Amino acid sequence: MPLQGSWVEHWLDRFCEPGTRELVPLTESVVWCVRCGKKELADGATCFFCDIPSNTPVVLRYHGSLLHLPTRLCVLCREDLEQSSSVRGWTVAS
């Protein structure tokens, strides 16, 4: 079945909202959320929204807040946010 809607929304529906994940060690180099199953590299080199490894740094804002969150995005999530300008309140800070 083809993906319906945005790439970022797909992952927001599949995994816990960023900031609410309960990460525990799975291996020496991988952590995972006990609530939703999202796996991340322990060194933080995983996309903020999905589970694709990423070395692309980016700064995000949530609902236009003054808070700037430095993180990493994969190419697909970054393109989706830049094309949509906002996905469920998440935007790339300029």
Chain segment 32-52, per-residue pLDDT in tens: 899 999 988 888 888 989 888
- For the chain, percent of residues with pLDDT exceeding 90: 23
* 16 burial type by CB count under 10 A (0-12 exposed, 13-18 middle, 19+ buried): middle
Query: Which stretches of the chain drop beneath a pLDDT of 50?
Result: 1-2
What per-residue confidence (pLDDT) applies to 4? Answer: 63
Left if phi > 0, otherwise alpha if psi is -120 to 50, otherwise beta: which for 27? Answer: beta
Provide the whole-model pTM: 0.77
Q: What's the confidence (pLDDT) of residue 62?
A: 86
CA atoms within 13 A on the CB side of 69: 16
Q: Which residues share a beta bridge with 74?
A: none
Place of tokens 């003054």: 66
Nearest 5°: CA angle at 84, between 10 and 79?
A: 75
Cβ burial, residue 62 (10 Å; 0-12/13-18/19+):
middle
CB 62 within 8 A of CB 69: yes
pLDDT for res 75: 92
